[in-house]
Structure 1
Amino acid sequence: MAVQAQEKIINPVLPGFYPDPSICRAGDDYYLITSTFSYYPGVPIFHSKDLVNWQQIGNILNRPEQLDVEGLGVSRGIFAPAIAYHDGTFYMVTTLVDKGGNFVVTATNPAGPWSDPVWLPEVSGIDPSLFFDEGGKAYILYNSDAPDNKPLYDGHRTIRIQEFDYKNLRTVSEPTILVNGGVDISKKPVWIEGPHIYKVNGYYYLMAAEGGTSVNHSEVILRSQNVTGPYIPYENNPILTQRHLPNDRPNPVSATGHADLVQTQNGEWWSIFLATRPYDTEDHYNIGRETFLAPVTWKDGWPIINAKHEEVQYSYTRPNLPEAKLSDFPLNGNFRYREDFTASELPMYWMMLRTPRSNWYSLSQPTGSLSMEVRPEELSGKGNPSYIARRQQHLEGSASTRMKFNPASKNEIAGIVAFQGEKNYYTLGKTISKGKQVVQLRKADNAVLAEETLSRKESKKPLQLKIAFDGGKYSFYYTTNEGDWKLLKADVDGTYLSTRVAGGFVGVTLGMYATSQGKPSASKAEFEWFDYEGNDDIYKSTSTTMK
Structure 2
Amino acid sequence: MWIADQGDGTYTNPILYTDYSDPDAIRVGEDYFMIASSFCNTPAVPLLHSKDLVNWKVINYIMDQLPFDYYDKPVHGCGTWAPAIRYHEGTYYVFIPMPDEGIMMCKTTDPWGKWSEPAYVRKVVGWIDPCPFWDEDGKAYMVTAFARSRIGFKSMLYMSPIEPDCSGVLDDGQFIYDGHATQPTIEGPKLYKRNGYYYIFAPAGGVKPGWQTVLRSKNIYGPWEEKIVLHQGNSPVNGPHQGAWVDTPDGQDWFLHFQDVGNAGRIVHLQPMHWENDWPVIGVNAVDGCGEPVLRYKKPEVGATYPIDTPEDSDFFEGDRLGLQWQWNANYKREWYELKDGQLLLHAQAADPKTQLCDISNLLLQKWPAPEFSITTCLHLEQMKDGDVAGLVSLGGCYTALAVQKIHGKMSLQQRTGNWTKDDEVRTSLGEWNSDVIYIQMKVEKETYRTFYVGTTEENLQPVGQMVEATPGRWVGVKDGLFAINEQGAAGGSVAADYFVYQEL
TM-score over 0.5 for the pair: yes
Q: How many residues align?
A: 487
Counterpart in 2 of 1:527? 497
Identify if the C-alpha distance between structure 1 residues 306 and 97 changes in structure 2 by more than 3 Å, giving closer, same or farther. Answer: same
Q: 1:471-511: per-residue Cα shift (whole Å, max 9, x none)? A: 22111100102322111146x231xx323xx5x10111111
SS of the equivalent of 1:528 reads strand
How far did residue 63 of structure 1 move?
4.7
* Structure 1 Cα separation of the partners of residues 184 and 166 of structure 2: 34
SS of the equivalent of 2:458 reads coil
* Structure 2 Cα separation of the partners of residues 55 and 61 of structure 1: 17
* Structure 2 Cα separation of the partners of residues 508 and 324 of structure 1: 33
Q: Does 1:513 align with 2:489?
A: no
Q: Give the letter for the 1:290 counterpart.
A: I
How far did residue 195 of structure 1 move?
0.5
Identify if the C-alpha distance between structure 1 residues 348 and 2 changes in structure 2 by more than 3 Å, giving closer, same or farther. Answer: closer
Q: Does 1:241 align with 2:239?
A: no
Choose from 106, 121, 143 the match for 2:145: 143
Counterpart in 2 of 1:44? 46
Q: Does 1:228 align with 2:221?
A: yes
Identify if the C-alpha distance between structure 1 residues 168 and 414 changes in structure 2 by more than 3 Å, giving closer, same or farther. Answer: closer
Identify if the C-alpha distance between structure 1 residues 174 and 386 changes in structure 2 by more than 3 Å, giving closer, same or farther. Answer: closer
SS of the equivalent of 1:95 reads strand
Q: Does 1:107 align with 2:108?
A: yes
| Alpha-carbon contact 1:19-1:274 (below 8 Å) kept | yes
* Shift >4 Å, 4+ stretches: 1-4, 63-68, 381-384, 432-436
Q: Give the letter for the 2:256 counterpart.
A: I
How far did residue 395 of structure 1 move?
1.5
* Structure 2 Cα separation of the partners of residues 115 and 231 of structure 1: 35
Structure 2 regions of 5+ residues with no counterpart?
419-423
Identify if the C-alpha distance between structure 1 residues 69 and 322 changes in structure 2 by more than 3 Å, giving closer, same or farther. Answer: farther
Identify if the C-alpha distance between structure 1 residues 448 and 86 changes in structure 2 by more than 3 Å, giving closer, same or farther. Answer: same
| 1:318-397 matched pairs, under 5 angstroms | 318-323=299-304, 325-326=306-307, 330-331=310-311, 338-364=314-340, 367-377=341-351, 380=356, 385-397=361-373
Counterpart in 2 of 1:280? none
Q: Give the letter for the 1:177 counterpart.
A: F
| Alpha-carbon contact 2:105-2:166 (below 8 Å) kept | no
Counterpart in 1 of 2:421? none
Counterpart in 1 of 2:174? 176
Choose from 283, 289, 300 the match for 2:266: 289
How far did residue 55 of structure 1 move?
2.1
Identify if the C-alpha distance between structure 1 residues 59 and 256 changes in structure 2 by more than 3 Å, giving closer, same or farther. Answer: same
How far did residue 311 of structure 1 move?
5.1
Counterpart in 2 of 1:263? 247
How far did residue 377 of structure 1 move?
3.4
| Alpha-carbon contact 1:18-1:34 (below 8 Å) kept | yes
Counterpart in 2 of 1:545? none
* Structure 2 Cα separation of the partners of residues 186 and 506 of structure 1: 29
Q: Give the letter for the 2:214 counterpart.
A: I
Q: 1:89-110: per-residue Cα shift (whole Å, max 9, x none)? A: 1000011233x21111110011
Q: 1:201-259: per-residue Cα shift (whole Å, max 9, x none)? A: 11111111112222x2221111111111111112xx2x2222x66xxx8xx43232212
* Structure 1 Cα separation of the partners of residues 115 and 2 of structure 2: 36
Q: Does 1:82 align with 2:59?
A: no
SS of the equivalent of 1:79 reads coil
SS of the equivalent of 2:503 reads strand
* Structure 2 Cα separation of the partners of residues 521 and 324 of structure 1: 53
SS of the equivalent of 1:120 reads strand
* Structure 2 Cα separation of the partners of residues 384 and 435 of structure 1: 24
Counterpart in 2 of 1:427? 401
How far did residue 145 of structure 1 move?
7.1
Structure 1 regions of 5+ residues with no counterpart?
278-284, 536-547
* Structure 1 Cα separation of the partners of residues 427 and 154 of structure 2: 44
SS of the equivalent of 2:181 reads helix
| Alpha-carbon contact 2:24-2:35 (below 8 Å) kept | yes
| 1:212-223 matched pairs, under 5 angstroms | 212-214=206-208, 216-223=209-216
| Alpha-carbon contact 1:297-1:307 (below 8 Å) kept | no
Q: 1:318-353: per-residue Cα shift (whole Å, max 9, x none)? A: 0111345437x633xxxx953111100011111111
Q: Give the letter for the 2:162 counterpart.
A: F
Q: 1:10-44: per-residue Cα shift (whole Å, max 9, x none)? A: 32223222100001111222110001100000111
| Alpha-carbon contact 2:284-2:292 (below 8 Å) kept | no
| Alpha-carbon contact 1:66-1:117 (below 8 Å) kept | no
- TM-score, normalization by structure 1: 0.82
- TM-score, normalization by structure 2: 0.89
Counterpart in 2 of 1:453? 432
| Alpha-carbon contact 1:70-1:384 (below 8 Å) kept | no
Choose from 389, 410, 414 the match for 1:413: 389
SS of the equivalent of 1:161 reads strand
How far did residue 122 of structure 1 move?
5.7
How far did residue 115 of structure 1 move?
0.7
Identify if the C-alpha distance between structure 1 residues 108 and 429 changes in structure 2 by more than 3 Å, giving closer, same or farther. Answer: same
Counterpart in 2 of 1:541? none
Counterpart in 1 of 2:36? 34
Identify if the C-alpha distance between structure 1 residues 186 and 387 changes in structure 2 by more than 3 Å, giving closer, same or farther. Answer: closer
Counterpart in 2 of 1:25? 27
| Alpha-carbon contact 2:274-2:280 (below 8 Å) kept | yes
How far did residue 356 of structure 1 move?
1.6
| Alpha-carbon contact 2:146-2:154 (below 8 Å) kept | no
SS of the equivalent of 1:69 reads helix
* Structure 1 Cα separation of the partners of residues 108 and 69 of structure 2: 16
| Alpha-carbon contact 2:330-2:362 (below 8 Å) kept | no
* Structure 2 Cα separation of the partners of residues 210 and 107 of structure 1: 32
| Alpha-carbon contact 1:385-1:515 (below 8 Å) kept | no
| Alpha-carbon contact 2:35-2:48 (below 8 Å) kept | yes
| Alpha-carbon contact 2:388-2:486 (below 8 Å) kept | yes
| Alpha-carbon contact 1:450-1:488 (below 8 Å) kept | no
| Alpha-carbon contact 1:37-1:76 (below 8 Å) kept | yes
How far did residue 192 of structure 1 move?
1.3
Output the aligned Cα RMSD: 2.8
Counterpart in 2 of 1:538? none
* Structure 2 Cα separation of the partners of residues 157 and 68 of structure 1: 29
Counterpart in 1 of 2:293? 312
Choose from 127, 130, 133 the match for 2:132: 130
| Alpha-carbon contact 2:452-2:464 (below 8 Å) kept | yes
Q: Percent of aligned positions with the same letter in both sequences?
A: 27
